[in-house]
Amino acid sequence: MANKLKLGIPKGSLQDATLALFARAGWNIYASGRSYFPTIDDTEIECMLVRAQEMARYVEHGALDAGLTGNDWVLENLADVERVTSLTYSKQSNTRVKWVLAVPEDSPFQKPEDLEGKTIATELVEYTKRYFAEKKINVKVEFSWGATEVKPPTLADAIVEVTETGSSLRANRLRIIETLMESETQLIANKTSWADDWKREKIETLSLMLNGAMAAQSQVGLMLNVEKSNLDAVLAVLPALNSPTVNQLHDSNWVAVNTILEQSTVRDVIPQLKAAGGTGIVEYPLSKVVL
């Protein structure tokens, strides 16, 4: 029987961003209808859609060889898994999310200690309990089934909720008084699977290509021609990822320069390159950057 890697894909808010990342990394995953078993164009991988909140438990227990989930849910479940790599993306952006303690704007609470004897609503129950226990603050932590932002002050005194931008909290007139943790997506593996040579190599390949796709999102390639007499001036402009590649052109007085740089710098760099003597400047997108 051929080797197979059982891979968990997070169902829900991370699903679309994860499928898009895999496509950039070279794997096309097709999730359709009500099926929890999407197809993938790799005969060595079997995919299953699993809620991010449960992923770490299934990976720990061996139902899955590997999966993608937030570090927050690994900590929530105290899962004993191999953390292969961090992939900083979320449903809206390529940034970490925050789990915050929030209260109504007009409440008297200013710090966690002010919530002594109060009720906290959250989906991150166990981590929140441990957080307050470490601070020796006695609170009641209740599981929230959803719409957590609307619960204070009627159904809870405060909430612990995940946020990317804080816009939902502000829209519900909530004020952050503490950040409990920052979290990002991680590729995790079952420890027995990680000890298997074939599965480990397959997981490491996934890690390499996913990281390459992530790195390429903020980078672009740039190539240009320049006379040798102006080469030093051009190279002084370039904030290269590594040393730029310089190749001799047919005309012995000219060279071609190829490099990678942050997309956010291009609008400033290209005019400087033009002024330094660069010509035939071409910017092109990257699919992967593997360091």
Amino acid 91: pLDDT: 60
Amino acid 1: pLDDT: 47
- CATH code for the structural domain at 219-285: 3.30.70.120
Amino acid 167: pLDDT: 86
Strand order in the sheet with 245-248: 245-248, 254-262, 219-227, 279-285
Which residues are 49's β-sheet partners?
Answer: 9
pTM: 0.85
Amino acid 48: pLDDT: 96
- CATH code for the structural domain at 97-183: 3.40.190.10
Amino acid 2: pLDDT: 62
Q: Would you write out the chain's pLDDT as a tens digit for each of its 291 residues?
A: 468 999 999 998 889 999 999 999 999 999 887 789 999 999 999 999 999 999 999 999 999 999 999 999 999 999 999 999 999 886 666 778 999 999 999 999 999 999 999 999 999 999 999 999 999 999 999 999 888 999 999 999 999 999 988 888 999 999 999 999 999 999 999 999 999 999 999 999 999 999 999 988 888 999 999 999 999 999 999 875 568 999 999 999 999 999 999 888 999 999 999 999 999 999 999 988 887
List all residues 6 or more positions away from 139 whose beta carbon is below 8 Å from its beta carbon: 115, 116, 117, 118, 119, 120, 132
Helical residues (DSSP H) of the chain, grouped into ranges? 15-25, 52-61, 71-77, 125-134, 167-171, 191-195, 197-216, 231-237, 266-275
- Confirm if 132 and 141 have CB atoms less than 8 A apart: yes
How is the chain split into domains, by residue range? 5-92+184-216, 97-183, 219-285
- Confirm if 49 and 146 have CB atoms less than 8 A apart: no
> From residue 260, how far is each of 25, 177, 231, 243, 285 by CA, in Å?
18, 41, 17, 9, 10
DSSP annotation of 277 = T
- CATH code for the structural domain at 5-92+184-216: 3.40.190.10
Cα torsion 229, 231, 237, 239 to 10°: value is: -170
Tell me how crowded residue 171 is: count the other CB atoms within 10 A of its CB: 9
Amino acid 146: pLDDT: 84
Please tell me if the domain spanning 5-92+184-216 has the same topology as the one spanning 219-285.
no
Return d(Cα 117, Cα 133) in angstroms, integer. 12
